[in-house]
Chains A and B, each alone.
Chain A
Amino acid sequence: MNTIHEIVLNWGIFERMLAFVLLAPLVGGLLAGIDRKVSARFQGRYGPPVLQPFYDAFKLFQKEKIIVNKFQDFNIVLFLLFTIFSGALFFAGADLLLTIFSLALAGTFFVLGGFCVGSPYSHLGAEREIIQQVAYEPMIILVAIGMYQVTGSFKVSVIAQYELPLILYLPGVFAGFLYILTIKFRKSPFDLSMSHHAHQEIVRGLTTEFSGSTLALIEIAHWYENVLLLGMVYLFFGFNPWLAVFVALATYLFEIFIDMNYARFKWQLTFGSSWLFTAVAGVSNIIVLSLMR
């Protein structure tokens, strides 16, 4: 592990980007598979094979392309491209804020895709997706702010190699980040806009009108995004790579646990509680930090 860490440290920007682009879908897909297996076990079921997400994606690529309008898929392609791009930026050690803005851009394309098709379910899913975006956006920016306050830099490469444990300075920010991570992972109780579980009140929400390979692209973008988000969890524990990877994985399991234990919230509660929790945990942490200096 330590040698792996050494090797990664010696990579240049483009090598890291390339590594992310190639490895992230594998890791993300595997995590998704573990998610389904673990979820099934929580429910006393046997569950699908761990590689099931890959099977699903392969199958989706083999399906016929059906569309509602010509341009709907374009938005999804852009969503995927910019998600990959933000992840690559992050793992190349670039500016954390820039990564966040770029990820927001990707999210916007996803929402526009949902609006573009002009279907009621998709439309409602898109509206809810924006509400989710608005709910988590402040906290994500606060993560960057908090890390900047401690390390004095927005560079991911600097933050990741900061010697002191960030988590000790940013416990509130980390708690807030965990909270909105549930939204980002699209887990219950916050999976309003589209859910991985079967029937939902708005069918498949945002993705209702996307099928076949486009749906697979959405899944893959989601894998990339998950890896990126776990990378952000890593930053909090960057002082010890072993611990950091362990915590990142533990966080993922924790989110699965939450997912299994909650029913879906209404958007009012999702939105209100996210902003409130951001204010209580994140903002107070940031203010304490600024007073300490």
Chain B
Amino acid sequence: MANKNEETASFVLRLSQKIFETEEGEPQIEWRGNIRHVQSGDETRFSNFEDAQDFVQNKLTSMTMKAVEDKPESEQKGILSKSFDFWKKMATATPKLVMDSIKDPKKQAAHFQEQIQEQFHQISDLVGQKIEDTIGPNTSKSEIIEKLDHLTHQMDMIQKKLDSLSPPAKSKK
């Protein structure tokens, strides 16, 4: 049985808003964020929420990998696959969240918290279920990586759609 401390990841998220006028006199808002993974002390800053999501995803994936390292390879793949499903759902939920926030900024924080909690409950349920090897017993690690790449591509597509809805912002590279 996994150590209880290794089953939980906590994140402290700080968001600061900067409202200003551009040189052309256009009103503008900029969000500056900082997210810290409590258990490791690692943190990152971001101006694009996707970077915060990547940070959380990396930490949770590492945690899952560590938790299943003693399990048979096929079982590991099943769990990881379900973990990736969580992020796929997150990616589809994000645009709705953003649009809802634009319509009603006051509900932004509440919406966001609800979405995150819902998604976290889903992953808990998924991992708790009987493990199904959805990838197949002979799937290689490179195929898993390919699946990840595919998800990343989907995320990029969603981001492009989002960018087309709002003024262009620089993304951290």
Partners in one complex: no
